[in-house]
Structure 1
């Protein structure tokens, strides 16, 4: 028997389902627990790695690749594995065959088109992947700043757009300026997955002094513009200080720490983990745990739910690596294969997250 609409309704955090605004996306107890158990330790780890790197210590190559390898099963690749459940959870209903099928079709069409672009025009695909990641990581950080830190100083659409651009640029632009050779090496690995080799690099040679000056200027401008709004209240000033401290930390982190290691850690411990906790906020099964500040069970529940789709993605990854035109165990090539798969998954995933932003009113102006 088909359940009625009323029977299919489910409650979310605060009883409003996933369509609640960004301010109600997570209970205060969950925000506090996340900051204490995940955000603070991650910041400390980043600071330690900055100190180690600036001290001139040589970090083994295998250790630099380890976070990206771990991201195959821990946080990174799995963080988008529940996209097929998002539309229903945002609507406060149980997932149906139709709602899941729409997301599956979205992934099939956009993912296939993305892989085709890599095969036909790999340099264009790489450039678009960088721009898309800039946007997507920026939008993920914007939501986290609003939902986890309050971000009372980000009230206008313009200030939110600035936060998205600046935070997305940190992992995408800072390594280009500080570690251009590594950037070009990653580009070469990704663009060779479908057999293209020897193509001219899309990555321009950036004078470190000029690039650094531009980045510092942009960060100072962001601090000044958002600082004006932060003068409204003590809450605004506190959230502004957290925002600027994180921006400064990430800027130094991506400049000082080896790029592959920095990106891998950021992907797992910063971007993906924040999205997973966001998904828990629209999971009715996690409501009671989040309101009590318990994060263990929601994270485990996510891991179990995400496992089947993650396994499918791993099978596709292995297929690309083993049966692709350049089957080799070279780390640069294997990283390229992973990035190509991530790009094919990121395109539809970014669409889903953009829908989440709209439903959770991320861009609504606050007075």
Structure 2
């Protein structure tokens, strides 16, 4: 796995730009509940066509670009993965929505964590993330920030979203997750996650103390973690998670896609980021449209009242169904790219 500094074009776009956007959005945590519902839901609406939904729509080209397999085989393999895993997971939503929702939260925790751990190493000067234990520690913290911290700081908003999704399939099942929102549960989770956050930074700091790497990457890691703790604690979950999905996770994954596309990589190295972005949208367009068809099918299948809350719930279920096979593809990408990087994996 090759690496780029934060000062390169891809580093600024994938690391600095999301950081600035999230920092500027924190003041919304004070006033956003007083704004129209459409404003609070805007990041998810934007994510449909901008970065969020399209970021996973290039999976079909990854075996071609990383595994050097023929295009037809790349399309077929990824198509089968999506059909089987997506279909099975959709069946779980129909049979046990509470279980499916918990699986979605856990899966997203893992996936957003793995995405950030890779980006820190590839684009963020994260030389302190060197071993398997370092990556797992980073993954748990980075995935927990968007998935757990909103539960701690904004439990009412978090519960409304969770219940809204489950109620699409079985309103009675919402009680199954009630213990998650109790004060004692959130207190235990908050203390545990806070301790783990600090411990993970101390654990990866051993490379700096041993003079194996500079402190710059660790410092930026700590700054991002602190900022995201503050952001997800203060900003209501719908707006916070939607914005993070669109301008943080998705943007960093698009950067990852660009560096395995030779033409896009060359464009980024030359500072011609619009060319690289154009190639991404060209590659992502067909499956983005196909994903919209999935959402349309869910809308027809699951009865709703047509409200924004119901439409958001439909969108999140569709994202969940697409996320499981996407995670499988990205986990395979991790294996290939980390192998190439020759990072020591003995711990």
d(CA) in 2 for partners of 1:31, 1:346: 31
Residues 1:161 and 2:136 aligned together:
yes
Does the CA-based 8 Å contact 1:151-1:236 persist in structure 2? no
Does the CA-based 8 Å contact 1:67-1:268 persist in structure 2? yes
Displacement of 1:141: 0.5
* Stretches of structure 2 lacking an aligned partner (at least 5 in a row): none
* CA deviation map 1:233-270 (0-9, x unaligned): 48431100001110111111110111111101110111
Counterpart in 2 of 1:361? 338
d(CA) in 2 for partners of 1:74, 1:257: 22
Residues 1:70 and 2:42 aligned together:
no
Counterpart in 1 of 2:247? 269
d(CA) in 2 for partners of 1:65, 1:248: 25
Work out which of the residue numbers 70, 88, 107 in structure 2 matches 1:113: 88
Work out which of the residue numbers 65, 68, 76 in structure 2 matches 1:101: 76
The change in CA–CA distance for 1:210 and 1:59 in structure 2 (over 3 A counts) is farther
Residues 1:45 and 2:45 aligned together:
no
Counterpart in 2 of 1:13? none
TM-score calculated relative to the size of structure 1: 0.86
Q: Secondary structure at the match of 2:306?
A: coil
Alignment of 1:1-367 (within 5 A): 22=1, 24=2, 32-37=8-13, 39-54=15-30, 58-92=34-68, 95-193=70-168, 195-199=169-173, 200-203=175-178, 204-207=180-183, 210-233=188-211, 235-321=213-299, 323-361=300-338, 364-365=343-344
* Stretches of structure 1 lacking an aligned partner (at least 5 in a row): 1-21
Does the CA-based 8 Å contact 1:135-1:164 persist in structure 2? yes
* CA deviation map 1:75-97 (0-9, x unaligned): 1011111111100100245x421
d(CA) in 1 for partners of 2:187, 2:83: 44
The change in CA–CA distance for 1:56 and 1:125 in structure 2 (over 3 A counts) is closer
Greater fraction of residues in helix: 2
Does the CA-based 8 Å contact 1:122-1:191 persist in structure 2? yes
The change in CA–CA distance for 1:184 and 1:52 in structure 2 (over 3 A counts) is closer
TM-score calculated relative to the size of structure 2: 0.91
Displacement of 1:209: 5.1
The change in CA–CA distance for 1:159 and 1:216 in structure 2 (over 3 A counts) is same
Does the CA-based 8 Å contact 2:4-2:125 persist in structure 1? no
d(CA) in 1 for partners of 2:323, 2:28: 32
Counterpart in 2 of 1:4? none
Displacement of 1:129: 0.7
Larger-gyration structure (1/2)? 1
Does the CA-based 8 Å contact 1:192-1:333 persist in structure 2? no
RMSD: 2.2
The answer to which of 178-187 and 118-127 deviates more is 178-187
The change in CA–CA distance for 1:35 and 1:291 in structure 2 (over 3 A counts) is closer
d(CA) in 2 for partners of 1:298, 1:60: 35
Displacement of 1:61: 2.1
